[in-house]
Chains A and B, each alone.
Chain A
Amino acid sequence: MATLSVRAEVARRGPAGGTFALEVDTTFAPGVTCIMGPSGAGKSTLLGVIAGLVTPGRGRVALGDEVWLDTDQRRRVPVHKRHVAYLFQSLALFPHLNAIHNVEYSMPRGTPRRERHARAHALLERLGVAHLAHRRPRTFSGGEAQRVALARALAMAPRVILLDEPFSALDRALKIPLIALVRELALEAGVPTLAVTHSIGEARALADRVIQIAGGRVAADGGPDQLLPARVAYRDDRADERALEITPAPILTRR
């Protein structure tokens, strides 16, 4: 399975007016990597660069031998040809389409309609939301919307999976089974999977590897056992988020 390599230098104007920069050079093997770090550190920008939604000033993104972006050679594969499943924080389900049409949207257009429908239905069933097939997103609960969005992201047979704070809107009871399911689906897909999270509990349950980004740079990189404190689990999500925001250094050692 192909490894994703990313080297990027992004300079953009931050929301407060100052310049914000991301400077990374790393690779992602198949498996789940959790991207952690304080708000505004550049986590979502990194996902944007991989998906092709953000074009870095300088950089190179490649999946195996296939080069998606090379600013030196002026090469850029457009977003829609990368087959990157991107689960947005807001989920971005199409409000004008019902669940099954949302899922079908990402399937190749040559697929016969009946087959598309059957596959979409099977995916919704796998994620436990087949009963929503003909309903529109505004009627979904948070957990239901999450599952439909996951089904849609997986329907395209992704080559990379990007999850931007996939569980932030869910309460604990919904989170635990969904985290297990996401890990299972990501490993099944066998592709590089990046999940942005603020929660150490989530990262412990999901990740094969953890990267901390701070100030636009990789501040720490290693296995979850190496980098994450063992005792913090689901019991106190708020507390571990606080710990990360306020004192990242004692928890995550610099390389």
Chain B
Amino acid sequence: MIPWPGVDWDPLFLSLEAATIATLVAGIVGIGLGALLAWPRMIARDLLDAILAAPMVMPPTVLGYYVLVAVGRKSFVGTAWRDLFGTDLTFTFTGVVLAASLGAFPMIVKAARTAFQGVDPTLVAAARTLGAGPVRAFLTVSIPLAAPGLIAGLMLGFARGLGDFGVTLMIAGDIPGETQSAPLAIYDHVQAGREHDAAVMSIVLTVGAVAILYLVNRLARPGAEA
């Protein structure tokens, strides 16, 4: 553990772990959907974009409520998940990951759409005439050229997932050692009057957030290469 007298770091590690898994999951799905939104022949692009971005502006309680209805213990998905894996999706660590993924997802989709739209379509067309099928052209031309934007989106998504409070509380609860993430721990510290612990954890999260945003800005600079 980090030598800082009296501070319990477990919530931070839990948050880091959940945000990492969430970034991977939301990254794969989000980059795919971002590419779809950037595809010139995509239909109902703006409607789909609005639906996918909605979690960014919805109250966390509303979002959490929908998730509980969709994948809670008594739902079809929740029951199927329990039959398959023997655990619940909600009020477990999986719930923390799910909440972090929901936070990360819209940011990754937005960044991916912008990044793919910035790729010169002539380069993709050139790849196709040079013998690349759509998948190879995507993997060898679109992805590398969009990489700085994609990485920036993943980092923003990670930061957003790390900081989630409301949805985590709604669908995973605040169980120390199991679902208590760093933001929830800060809330508990403040409630219990543990000012020192709240301050230390807040400073760590703030430094992390600023560091990530700084790196994102550097990646977004023109001419940046992944």
Contact = CB atoms under 8 A, between A and B. Distances in A.
Interface in A139-154: 152-153
A242 to B, nearest CB: 28
B125 A96 contact: no
A57 interface: no
Interface stretch (A4-12, A86-94, A204-212): A86-94
Contacts of B120: 90, 92
A80 B132 contact: yes
A136 B123 CA distance: 15
Interface string A28-68: 00000000000000000000000111000000000000000
A80 B126 contact: no
Given A94-B141, A95-B145, A96-B145, A80 B128 contact: yes
B127 A85 contact: no
A94 B140 CA distance: 10
Contacts of A51: 129
Given A86-B126, A90-B122, A96 B144 contact: yes
Contact of B122 (A82, A92, A106): A92
Contacts, number: 55
Contacts of A53: 125, 128-129
A84 B145 CA distance: 24
Interface residues of B, number: 18
B180 to A, nearest CB: 43
What DSSP secondary structure best describes chain A's contact surface? loop
A105 interface: yes
Nearest to A103: B130
Interface in B176-198: none
Contact of A80 (B123, B129, B141, B144): B129
B28 to A, nearest CB: 22
Size bin of chain A's contact surface: 20 to 34
Contacts of A105: 127, 130, 132, 140
A173 to B, nearest CB: 27
A117 interface: no
Contacts of A83: 131
Contacts of B137: 80
A106 B130 contact: yes
B86 interface: no
B5 interface: no
B126 A92 contact: yes
Interface of A: 51-53, 78-80, 82-86, 88, 90, 92, 94-96, 105-106, 108, 152-153, 156
Given A80-B128, A105-B132, A106-B130, 11 more contacts: A53-B128, A78-B133, A80-B129, A80-B131, A80-B133, A92-B122, A92-B123, A94-B141, A95-B145, A105-B130, A105-B140
27 contacts: A52-B129, A53-B125, A53-B128, A53-B129, A78-B133, A79-B125, A79-B128, A80-B131, A80-B132, A80-B137, A86-B126, A86-B129, A88-B125, A92-B120, A92-B122, A92-B126, A94-B127, A94-B141, A95-B123, A95-B145, A96-B145, A105-B130, A106-B130, A108-B131, A153-B130, A156-B130, A156-B131
